[in-house]
Structures are given as structure tokens and as C-alpha cells.
Amino acid sequence: MTKIIYYKNKTKYLDLIKNNLLNNNLVIFPTETVYGIGANALSKEAVNKIFKAKGRQTDNPLIVHISNFDMLKNITTDINEIEQKLIDAFMPGPFTLILKKTNKIPTNVSANLDTVGIRFPDNEIARKIIEYTNIPIAAPSANISSKPSGTNIKDIKKEFKNKVNIIVDGGPSKIGIESTVVKVIDDIPTILRPGKITPEDIKEVIGIVKIDDNIYKKATGIVASPGMKYKHYAPDAKCILIYNEDNNKLIKLIDKHKNKKTIIIGCEENKKIFKNYLSYGNKNNLDKISHNIFHLLRKADKKNIDLIIIEGVKKEGLGIAIMNRLIRTCNYNYIEK
Ligand code: TXA
Ligand code: MG
């Protein structure tokens, strides 16, 4: 049985969550990016349960959540100057840094790599839970593998009821897409997965930034971030991503590809033009689009349709992260002309 907790800052709830985590049980909790499905990061047995509940490939490593910098000492080593600067600038926040791990981190967390992704969330509930439990928490996004990340409690309940011990309801996720994942490679901060912390943000702090070649394409073989190899963020229906900077051309392209059983997810500005249309917010409000997108994909998928057409956004700032997710949602089915 899964217990649903509408979180209040009460020791009663924190004790229950702590006891479950210390007993190697699974707890779904909110963060500012997306919900995480969490377990004791120091226990191989607990971490195995995450892989099982999600149906996740075992070569895809998990990130570990902390609530204070003291926790880093036990689980990471050899932090260099650039890494320290990134920590100081972006933690707590929607940011994950890949660091050299110690042997306190079980091999299944890191999928046998010698590194571990570290994230210090800025969500109050997440921080309280980790701080009170006083152990690092391994947590991937709360979704069945290959499905859109969980940002809404209803979607999460549907997928995980009776597969986890506790679901902590903290309302809809603020940001809505997962953290920026960065690894410092040859002294250059390299973005393995784009997110709310943009390349410009990192450049401002370090003076240099690189974006991994694979963010808009399908990665194969040995890649810096194993997650890039897999089908991801995908509804059951077929999806096409369409983008053109010229809105009239964009509308023509959508007209060309839609059929009678199509639903379109796009900007508020184009809502009046099409039938069966779900608006993700104004074209230029990337924060709102990122907040809405995963939930809308699930909503579209529930309708009786055979095609979802998604309007793309400009690949700039947070738009890089949105397009990185949507290109994968559409299984690289991306049209610009
Ligand atoms: O915002 C987030 O990051 C959310 C919340 C819950 O914190 N978590 C999340 O975890 O998105 P997950 O497992 O869905 O995505 C983690 C990504 C995967 O693509 C994984 O391959 C990559 O980070 N990753 C984890 N550890 C890594 C490592 N040691 N080296 C390279 N990539 C790693
Ligand atoms: Mg995920």
C-alpha cells in the first residue's frame, strides 16, 4: 500500500518518511524541477528497488541528492577549483554536477562508473526530508522509464500507486523539466543535459562552457551520460515536433502534417487557429512552457488520437532544454521546413 502525504511541516510526517528511507523503502518527493523517486543512496538494496519500480536500465546511473555540503565529504572526492566554483554558484538549485565518487556510493547508483551526479535541490520539502533523514538520497525522475517525467501528483499516483511506500504531494513542480547536468571535462564545464541553468549562466561564472554533441541527437555506444541513449519523455501516441521561426510557415507545416485524429500542443498565440489544441503558454514564456510541457504530453496521450504535433521553440536559453526533451519525446521526428 502506498501512503499519500499532503506535506505539512510536522515532525510526524518527517519521522514516517525518515523511517521508510532508513528501512530501504521508496519515497516519491517533490523537487523544484520534477518529482523524484527516492531511496537511501548508501544502500545497494534500496537503490535496486528504484530500478525495479521504474523499469530502468541498470547502465543508467542515478543522481544523489544532498541537503548540506558536509554530506559531500563522505561520497565525493578530488573536487577541483572549477567544480567548487560551480557548486558555489548553482547549489542549491536545478543543477547536477558529476563528481568523482568514493566507495561509499554503491556501484548500482553510479552504474559502475567512478563518478556520481550530485544535486542539492532548492525545494523546501526536499531539503527538509533529506536533512531530517540525514542520508544522501538517490532519486531519478518519478516516471516509468521512457515516459514523460512526473511533475503532477495525479500522473505520478497513476504510475506508482502500490509500487512505492510513500508519495509526498508538494503540488505541481515549479520548473517542470529536470536539472542541468554538468561534468567538468579537461577543465571545461560540459553540459550533458540542458536545463534551467543555461550555458550562458555557466559561462558567466567559469568563462567557458561546452554543450555535449548529443543533446539534439540519438547517442550510441559510449557516451558521457548514459541517459542520452534511451527513449525518453515519450507518450504512447506518435509525436512530431515542428518548428519554424516564421509563425505563418509553422502553421502551414502543421496543416500539412495533421490528420483527423491529431492533437496539437503549442503556444497560446496559435490556439484560435487549430481545433484539438492544448496551449503550453505564450511563445516567449519559456518558464511557463517548461512548467507545462510534461503534464500536457500526458494529457494529450489520454485522448483518443493517433498523432500529437508539438510546436517547437527557439533553441536559446531554457529553449535548449525544452527542445532537447521534445526531440526525444518525438523520437527524433523533427521538422523545420
Ligand atoms: O532534476 C533532476 O535532475 C531530477 C530530480 C528528481 O532531481 N532527477 C533526474 O534524474 O532527472 P534522472 O535519473 O531521471 O536523470 C539523471 C540523468 C540521466 O540522464 C543519467 O544518465 C545522468 O543524469 N547521470 C547520472 N549520473 C551520471 C554520471 N555519473 N555520469 C554521467 N551522467 C550521469
Ligand atoms: Mg528521468
Q: How many CA atoms lie within 13 A of 183 on its CB side?
A: 18
User: Which atom of ligand 1 is closest in space to residue 192's alpha carbon?
Assistant: 32
CB atoms within 10 A of CB 284: 12
pLDDT in tens, 243-263: 999 999 999 999 999 998 999
**What confidence category does residue 317 fall into, taking pLDDT thresholds of 50, 70 and 90?**
very high
| Whether 115 contacts 109, CB under 8 Å | no
Distance 283 CA to ligand 2 centre (A): 25
Q: Where are the beta strands (DSSP E) in 50-187?
A: 63-65, 76-77, 95-101, 115-119, 137-138, 166-169, 180-185
What DSSP element (H or E) covers 132? helix 124-133
**Ligand 2 centroid to residue 216 C-alpha, Å:** 16
- C-alpha cell of 238? 506518435
Identify the nearest ligand to the CA of 60 by its number: 1
Closest CA to 18 of 119, 117, 137, 118: 137
139 pocket-lining for ligand 1 (C-beta < 6 Å): yes
Residue 222, pLDDT above cutoff 80: no
Nearest to 17 by CA among 104, 184, 133, 125: 133
Which ligand gives the minimal distance to the CA of 151?
A: 1
d(CA 69, CA 248): 50
| pLDDT tens-digit map of 144-172 | 999 999 999 999 999 999 999 999 999 99
Gyration radius from the chain CA atoms = 20
Which atom of ligand 1 is nearest to 36's Cα? 6
Contact 268, 281 (CB under 8 A): yes
How confident is the model at residue 277, as a pLDDT?
97
Is residue 296 a contact partner of residue 278, using CB atoms and an 8 Å limit?
Answer: yes
CA of residue 136 to ligand 1 center, whole Å: 15
**Span 226-235, pLDDT tens digits:** 777 777 888 8
d(CA 334, CA 337): 10
* 3-state DSSP assignment of residue 205: helix
pTM for the complete prediction? 0.96
Taking only the tens place, the pLDDT of each residue in 64-87 is: 999 999 999 999 999 999 999 999
Atom 20, ligand 1: residue with shortest CA distance: 227
Establish whether residue 117 lines the binding site of ligand 1, counting it when its CB lies within 6 angstroms of any ligand atom.
Answer: yes
Q: How far apart are CA 159 and CA 193, in angstroms?
A: 24
Instruction: Answer whether 314's CB lies under 8 Å from 307's CB.
Output: no
Q: Considering only CA atoms, which residue is closest to atom 12 of ligand 1?
A: 140
Q: Which residue, judged by its Cα, is nearest atom 19 of ligand 1?
A: 227
pLDDT number for residue 9: 65
* Residues 263/303, Cβ–Cβ less than 8 Å: yes
